[in-house]
A and B are shown apart, each in its own frame.
Chain A
């Protein structure tokens, strides 16, 4: 198990429904162990399997949903 955690900055969320949508959508992707999206902090904390996902693919997944996603510091 190559679990890593990453913080992705997410811009454009305005309510809990946006938060839930991202959590559900990204949570369904392969190799995602856990995702916690914070509306207040405008970010998503994702714990993922580094064999199946990379910071770039996670960023792209959120970007594809119509939000601005930026990579913050990763703490492996």
Chain B
């Protein structure tokens, strides 16, 4: 899966398995107002959201995993 939408925030999240990515999925769903793709092999999460980067990063860090902001990613 790649980031194909218009403009997305790309995050690195240290996920190692399905359980990790499921956990990320759940916390993002609970936050609400987000559309996202999880790229497990590359440990990346691409988020399209009304929330700002800080809120998203805080949410990702809630899972207890290493997370960092990689930058904006626009469509090709």
Contact = CB atoms under 8 A, between A and B. Distances in A.
A17 B62 CA distance: 15
A22 B40 CA distance: 19
Interface string A11-35: 0111101100110110000000000
B17 A66 contact: no
B64 A67 contact: no
A67 B23 contact: yes
A25 B22 contact: no
B16 A17 contact: yes
A21 B65 contact: yes
Contact of A25 (B17, B24, B25, B64): B64
A26 to B, nearest CB: 8
B50 interface: no
Given A12-B26, A14-B19, A65-B62, 19 more contacts: A14-B18, A14-B22, A15-B17, A17-B17, A18-B19, A18-B20, A18-B23, A21-B65, A24-B64, A25-B64, A64-B62, A65-B27, A65-B63, A65-B64, A66-B24, A66-B25, A66-B26, A66-B63, A67-B23
Interface of A: 12-15, 17-18, 21-22, 24-25, 64-67
